[in-house]
């Protein structure tokens, strides 16, 4: 949960450093980088979830093959 709050804290820190955030001041690349920084913890959580799902599928596949190949 703390990982999800870190980008928000970064945005608040950025707002204190730069003043109120006007997206007109930022060009499109900076807005894209800011959005990617905000979504980074979510991307990490999705990657972890995908790895867990793949491992579970492999576990069931090997278990199924083991049952078939036993005499």
Q: What is the pLDDT of residue 42?
A: 82
User: Looking at the 3D structure of the chain, how many domains does it have?
Assistant: 1
For residues 23-33, give the mean pLDDT: 63
C-alpha span between 63 and 16 (Å, rounded): 55
Range of the domain at 38: 2-69
Across the chain, mean pLDDT equals 75
What percent of the chain has pLDDT above 70? 58
Tell me which of 48 and 10 has the higher pLDDT.
48
Is it the case that residue 54 has pLDDT exceeding 90?
yes
């Amino acid at each position: 949960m703390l990982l999800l709050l870190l980008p928000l804290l970064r945005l608040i820190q950025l707002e204190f450093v730069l003043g109120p955030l006007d997206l007109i001041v930022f060009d499109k690349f900076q807005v894209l980088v800011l959005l990617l920084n905000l979504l980074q913890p979510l991307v990490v959580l999705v990657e972890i979830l995908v790895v867990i799902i793949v491992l579970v599928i492999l576990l069931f596949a090997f278990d199924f093959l083991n049952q078939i190949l036993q005499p």
